Amino acid sequence: MELFSLSSILLLLVLSFTSPILSISDQPLLISSVVPDEEESCPYTVIVTTSCFSPDLSRDQITFALGDADGNKVVAPRLDEPLTGGGGFEKCSSDTFQVKGQCLDTICSLYIYRSGLDGWIPETVEIYEEGSKSVKFDFNKNVPDNTWYGHNYCNNTGLPPPSPGFPPFSPTDPPPHPPHFPPPKPSIPPPPPPPHAPPSAASGLGGGESLVVASAAILIALAAVVV
């Protein structure tokens, strides 16, 4: 009987120590299941249609910033490898890009950053997000160079448009040098000044007659003195 009671006491002691250990070891599993949510990444499909008023082929560097009403954003820097389309943002054509970033609520803002000399003109940008309807932004106008430009349809008037911790990116092509204009050379030299005209016969005759008159006047004066 004493052996049975002693074994029972030992069994109870073992169970009392092992149960808390098992419950503590289960807790980190619950914590670790929350951590991946902070690093969750979602894919976005972006279809860019270039306006027919855009240059035939653009080498501009294009960056997109997608945003939701909570101020979260996904930046897609320097889109240059489309899933479909020829790339290069050719006019009257569409290019499809795959973008990954943090999971956003309904996308309601899109800003474009353009850097380059070609002057790319977007017509529309349509964004597809898994589990949400696509959203389309109309442009069809010039995008200013080296500045964020776009649309904000979010109900968050207190939030400023994205700015900042985003690039600016410096253009890869340096601006052209100002043209050099030398002073124009005359194609036809100016004519030489006209030569002096020789005296006419009439002007010579008039001078001889005046000399004869003067001589006659002198002779008359001398004759008067002699008389």
| CATH, residue 49 | 2.60.60.20
Neighbours of 184 (CB within 10 A): 6
CA 120 to chain centroid: 8
Note whether residue 142 is domain-resident: yes
Per-residue confidence (pLDDT) for residue 178, from 0 to 100 = 40
Give the N- to C-terminal CA distance of the chain in Å, as an integer.
Answer: 204
125 vs 226, higher pLDDT: 125
Pick from 101, 82, 102: which is nearest to 90 by CA? 82
Per-residue confidence (pLDDT) for residue 38, from 0 to 100 = 44
Per-residue confidence (pLDDT) for residue 58, from 0 to 100 = 87
Please give the average per-residue pLDDT across 107-115, as a whole number.
Answer: 94
Note whether residue 146 is domain-resident: yes
Question: In which band, very low, low, confident or very high, does the pLDDT at 130 lie, cut at 50, 70 and 90?
Answer: confident
Note whether residue 42 is domain-resident: yes
Q: pLDDT (tens digit, 9 = 90+) per residue, 18-44? A: 444 333 333 333 222 223 334 568 999
Question: In which band, very low, low, confident or very high, does the pLDDT at 59 lie, cut at 50, 70 and 90?
Answer: confident
Note whether residue 50 is domain-resident: yes
Note whether residue 93 is domain-resident: yes
Per-residue confidence (pLDDT) for residue 86, from 0 to 100 = 58
70 vs 18, higher pLDDT: 70
Residues 118-147: b if buried by 16+ CB within 10 A, e if exposed: bebbbbebbbebeeeeebebebeeebebee
Note whether residue 98 is domain-resident: yes
- Residue 195 corresponds to which tokens in the numbers above? 């030569």
Q: Where is mean pLDDT largest: 74-78, 93-97, 124-128?
A: 124-128
In angstroms, the CA 169 to CA 166 distance is 9
Provide the β-strand partners of residue 115: 61
Note whether residue 55 is domain-resident: yes
Domain residues for 67?
Answer: 38-152
User: In the predicted model, what is the mean pLDDT of the chain?
Assistant: 70
Half-sphere exposure of 34 (CA within 13 A, CB side): 4
Q: pLDDT (tens digit, 9 = 90+) per residue, 146-203? A: 999 999 999 755 544 544 445 444 444 443 434 434 445 555 666 677 666 555 554 5
Provide the β-strand partners of residue 74: 66
In angstroms, the CA 171 to CA 58 distance is 13
13 vs 81, higher pLDDT: 81
User: What total number of domains does the chain contain?
Assistant: 1
Burial class of 86 by CB neighbour count within 10 A (0 to 12, 13 to 18, 19+): exposed
pLDDT of 144 over the 60 cut: yes
Note whether residue 202 is domain-resident: no
Which phi and psi (to 5°) does residue 137 adopt?
-120, 130
pLDDT of 3 over the 50 cut: no
Q: Is 101 helix (H, G, I), strand (E, B) or coil?
A: strand
Check if the beta carbon of residue 106 is closer than 8 Å to that of residue 153: no
